[in-house]
Chains A and B, each alone.
Chain A
Amino acid sequence: MTDLGGELMRMLPFLVAAWLFVVGLYGIVTSRHLVHLIMCLVVVQTSTYLLLLGVGYKVGGAAPIFADIPVGTPAVDPVTHALMLTDIVVEATVMALLLALAIQAEERAGSVDPDQLRIMRG
């Protein structure tokens, strides 16, 4: 019984990350509104953060900040955290660029439905 719990806990963050990735992709493929598509892209991106978080975690580890704990205490991996935190801020600006593109697409093509964007041209 505890072994099943241990086995589940061994893979749970990665399973949730994989599920979020596929669900986000499903949202992108079947989307009918460009802004809905952009928010599903945000969900796909957060699944990669979950994966990075799961890779770097150490059971019983503290946060890798040694201002008040001595240097030898076991801490989690700092490199994955560094990758994640710059990525979050950059994600916001790239989503802003995509939203600006959505506004311009609506102006040029007359519709925010991705299926209609091919038909109304010019």
Chain B
Amino acid sequence: MNHRARTTLFIFGGLGFLCFYIWGLHGLPGFGHYPGPYGDILNSLSVYQRHATDVITAVNFDYRGFDTLGEEFILFTSVMGANLLLRKQKDDREELPPRDEAADRVVPPTSDAVRVTGLALVLPIVVFGLYTISHGQLTPGGGFQGGVILASMPLIIYLCGDYEAFEKVTSHVLSEIAEAIGAGGYAITGLIAFAFGLPYLTNFIPLGETGDVLSSGTIFVISVLTGIEVAAGLVVLMISFFRQALVYRKSGEESGGQQ
């Protein structure tokens, strides 16, 4: 089916779908009039049951913890798949130092001000990422958010420096080990509940004071493990993409693939 026929068929199908979709949405209670009971029940009970003031993190890692375990393994599998697809093939050769600048442009080298700014930003980003992960049960934050913030630290180093600096800071093997510890730790935390005679992923650590950092039991442990896993997964992804785009060249290609 050629392009024009496909477009015409889609326009008819799309308009029909849009009409049905809007007709279906008309049956909803309307924007702003949330009727359902579960949100209100969770909002009123969560602080007393789990000693966690951030209800969203409590829902993510405790009330719907099994769902989040599945999502985390989707993340793990996609990173594994992308890593597999971007691995070094038989006819790839490495080319260092990598040419990541256009060959037909005169680009001045990175200025000292940018390098110092990048260096100065590394520590605040790491501290902020760790703060976001560990205070997930108190204020907006948690494993996922803090993990992505931590993963942007090697990226700042690449942007303000060059690829060799990025390579020195990251390590493929350590990142993969950290990702495996994060993902496996989450599953094992659920299994430890079996030793206490409780169902999978039930809380077994004493809940502390509301408002304290070390509170809300397994939510804190799972949040930290998820943060490690997300950060390490994204770093593995970045390493694979950087290597594929900047370092590997097919034998037979010109050296320094021009952009």
Contact = CB atoms under 8 A, between A and B. Distances in A.
Asked whether the complex places CB atoms of A and B closer than 8 A, the reply is: yes
Interface of A: 9-15, 18-19, 21-22, 25-26, 29-30, 54-59, 61, 63-67, 71-72, 75-79, 81-82, 85-90, 92-94, 96-97, 99-101, 103-104, 115
Tell me whether chain A's interface is mostly helix, strand or loop, or mixed: helix
18 contacts: A10-B30, A12-B31, A18-B18, A25-B14, A57-B31, A59-B33, A64-B55, A65-B139, A76-B39, A78-B42, A79-B42, A82-B59, A85-B142, A90-B74, A90-B78, A93-B234, A100-B85, A103-B85
Q: Which 10 A-B pairs have the closest CB atoms?
A: A77-B39, A59-B32, A100-B85, A93-B78, A10-B30, A82-B59, A14-B25, A67-B53, A78-B55, A100-B82
Contacts of B10: 25-26, 29-30
Given A59-B32, A86-B144, A89-B230, A79 B39 contact: yes
A71 B75 contact: no
Nearest to B145: A85
Interface of B: 3, 6-7, 10-11, 14, 17-18, 21-22, 25-26, 28, 30-34, 36, 38-39, 42-44, 46-48, 53-56, 59-60, 64, 68, 71-72, 74-75, 78-79, 81-82, 85-86, 138-140, 142, 144-145, 147-148, 211, 230, 233-234, 237, 240-241, 244
Given A15-B25, A78-B56, A90-B71, 17 more contacts: A10-B30, A55-B28, A57-B31, A58-B33, A58-B34, A59-B33, A61-B34, A64-B42, A66-B53, A66-B55, A87-B71, A94-B78, A96-B237, A97-B85, A99-B82, A100-B85, A101-B85
B74 A100 contact: no
A93 B47 CA distance: 33
A86 B82 contact: no
B38 A79 contact: yes
B138 to A, nearest CB: 6
Contacts of B244: 103
Contacts, number: 160
Given A64-B43, A77-B39, A30 B31 contact: no
Most B Cβ at <10 Å: residue of A58, A77, A103: A77
A55 B86 CA distance: 39
B197 to A, nearest CB: 28
A9 B18 CA distance: 19
Contacts of A94: 74, 78
Given A29-B10, A96-B79, A79 B59 contact: yes
A99 B36 CA distance: 39
B31 A13 contact: yes
B144 A93 contact: no
B174 to A, nearest CB: 19
B53 A65 contact: yes
Contact of B148 (A18, A89, A103): A89
B160 to A, nearest CB: 22
A28 to B, nearest CB: 9
Contacts of A61: 34
A97 B82 CA distance: 5
Nearest to B61: A82
Nearest to A18: B21
Contact of A67 (B26, B59, B85, B138): B138
A93 B82 contact: yes
B237 A56 contact: no
Nearest to A32: B3
Contacts of A76: 34, 39
